[in-house]
């Protein structure tokens, strides 16, 4: 998966600059978004600094064929959750989770992130507890 390769390529650069690499996602064939964070927050100059370094690495390594737009962003209030560690960090918060394949007749679950058990994300939605396998999650984010 290209997103994982990009994450591995960019993580050392972003961490070296003093930021957390939250995640990388291709939003379309021409838009690549890189999410960064820092305990003191992210501002425009942080995004510019990371963008400059990441652009250089992508130009040299050339992992993406063709033209694309690079966007560096803070995760924002509706922070995307990319890793199991992200889910663990935000237990007790409201989340929206979308699965690749339906479970119990639905793909989208919005509710309280109650726990992480083994590699399962436990979400309580409408007073029903759902055990969602992490490997089957397509996208997830916090609900402000």
Domains of the chain: 2-73 (3.30.300.70), 84-142 (2.30.30.100)
Q: Looking at the predicted structure, is the pLDDT value of residue 144 above 60?
A: yes
> How many Cβ atoms from other residues are within 10 Å of residue 17's Cβ?
16
pTM: 0.85
pLDDT tens digits, one per residue of 96-125: 999 999 988 999 999 999 999 999 999 999
Could you tell me if 15 and 21 are in contact, meaning their C-beta atoms sit under 8 angstroms apart?
Answer: yes
Q: Looking at the predicted structure, is the pLDDT value of residue 24 above 60?
A: yes
What is the pLDDT, as a whole number, of residue 137?
96
Could you tell me if 10 and 20 are in contact, meaning their C-beta atoms sit under 8 angstroms apart?
Answer: no
Share the mean pLDDT of the chain.
Answer: 93
User: How many angstroms separate the Cα of 33 from the Cα of each of 74, 92, 125, 127?
Assistant: 10, 27, 29, 35
Q: Give the torsion through C-alpha atoms of 62, 32, 42, 36, to 10 deg.
A: -70
What is the pLDDT, as a whole number, of residue 43?
96
């Amino acid at each position: 998966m290209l997103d994982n390769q990009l994450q591995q390529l960019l993580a050392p650069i972003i961490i070296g600059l003093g930021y957390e690499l939250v995640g990388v996602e291709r939003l379309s064939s021409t838009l690549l978004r890189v999410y960064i964070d820092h305990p003191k927050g992210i501002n425009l100059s942080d995004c510019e600094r990371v963008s400059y370094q990441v652009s250089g690495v992508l130009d040299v390594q050339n992992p993406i064929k063709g033209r694309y737009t690079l966007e560096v962003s803070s995760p924002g209030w509706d922070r995307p959750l990319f890793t199991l560690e992200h889910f663990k960090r935000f237990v007790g918060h409201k989340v929206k989770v979308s699965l690749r394949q339906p479970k119990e007749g639905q793909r989208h679950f919005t509710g309280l992130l109650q726990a992480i058990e083994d590699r399962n994300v436990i979400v309580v939605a409408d007073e029903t507890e759902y055990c969602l396998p992490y490997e089957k999650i397509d996208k997830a984010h916090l609900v402000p």
